[in-house]
A and B are shown apart, each in its own frame.
Chain A
Amino acid sequence: MNTSPKFIYVTLITTTPEKLWAALTSAEFTKQYWGGTAVESDWQVGSKVVFRWKGRIVHNDTVLKSEPPRLLSYSFHPLHIEELLSEPPSRVTFEIEEFTGKSARQGPVVKLTVTHEDFQAESKIFPMISKGWPDILSSLKTLLETGRAIEFEW
């Protein structure tokens, strides 16, 4: 039996697939909703994905899939928390689907499914990302719908 945990989170956002793709792949956007983290890459399969946070490189991962504006996947291995270094990289995938509004005058609604998997058994990273993604993705939705991310106070 496969006991490796898997995290899935679905959010719906009043935006377009292109704008959501830009928000996931541009450091200027990610800094606003991702607790100040700049996510940097040229988003070619095999290229590096670097997370910069408070002036440090906290991730140095690899693009696994990149099909703008529908599918993005990269490896995920935090470097800034000592006790997590020994865990193998996990994998996060972003899938973007567009729903057409019932009325032609209304804009589309986009469904973003984030799947985070390939954790080792009893992973210490898994509970952290399970708490973290709803916070980051709620803020992303607020940014795209209102123009301003959520101001978290922690």
Chain B
Amino acid sequence: MNLDRFKPKTVYVTYIATTPEKVWQALTTGDLTKQFFFGRRIEIEPQPDGLFRLWQPDGTLDVEGKVVVCDPPRKLAVTWRVMWMEELRKLPECLVSYQLDDLGKVVRLTMIEAHQIELDEKMLEGGRRGWPVILNNLKTLLETGKPMPEFDFMSDAKDALEEMKRVAREQTNLET
């Protein structure tokens, strides 16, 4: 797959006091992702072209894509189509990659969300709000054994989400 058409739009870097193997395991194991990824379980065939899905706690399909790069425990990249929201399902898929760098007692985890079309900044807001929550929760889980307390994330994000849906509707109307 030619990845050059995907342009990085959101990057998040965090340092986790653990090993790359533990970060890899957390990112690719459903029982672990459900603890830090807004309750979502991952389903993944860890090989290029393998299936990748995220499932919401109630069994709704959340995200679907394919494995593009699978180099444990260093790099994982998957295509990413948001399935749970009709407005976003129609958009071209994006690319999410995780790079894990072993720095001795700590792992640098770099998440990159890249897009193949020009998107309104408002469309990127969901990821820009969501990734820090997910990756900070992952860090807490790996460093303390439990995720952060659940908090009402949406109290802060509801307006941004509605705005995202509105812009997505405009965008898909333009393309059809």
Contact = CB atoms under 8 A, between A and B. Distances in A.
A134 B13 contact: yes
A148 to B, nearest CB: 9
A109 B17 contact: no
Contacts of B106: 150-153
B144 A99 contact: no
Contacts of B44: none
B152 A138 contact: no
B66 interface: no
Interface string A96-132: 0101111100111101000000000000000000000
Contact of B139 (A97, A107, A141, A152): A141
Interface in B122-176: 129, 132-133, 136-137, 139-140, 143-144, 148-153, 155-156
Nearest to A106: B149
Given A102-B151, A150-B106, A154-B103, A14 B140 contact: yes
Nearest to A97: B156
A13 interface: yes
Nearest to B133: A12
B144 A146 contact: yes
B5 interface: no
B139 to A, nearest CB: 7
B144 A145 contact: yes
A11 interface: yes
B105 A151 contact: yes
Interface residues on chain A, size class: 20 to 34
B87 to A, nearest CB: 24
Contacts of A101: 149-151
A146 B106 CA distance: 15
Contacts of A12: 132-133, 136-137, 148
A142 interface: yes
B38 interface: no
B59 interface: no
B153 to A, nearest CB: 7
Given A12-B137, A142-B143, A154-B103, A109 B15 contact: no
Nearest to A12: B136
Given A134-B15, A138-B14, A154-B103, A109 B139 contact: no
8 contacts: A11-B132, A99-B153, A100-B152, A138-B15, A142-B139, A150-B105, A151-B105, A152-B106
Interface of A: 10-14, 97, 99-103, 106-109, 111, 134-135, 138-139, 141-142, 145-146, 150-154
List 7 A-B pairs, minimum CB-CB distance, nearest first: A106-B149, A138-B15, A99-B151, A134-B13, A101-B149, A153-B104, A10-B132
Interface of B: 13-17, 103-106, 129, 132-133, 136-137, 139-140, 143-144, 148-153, 155-156
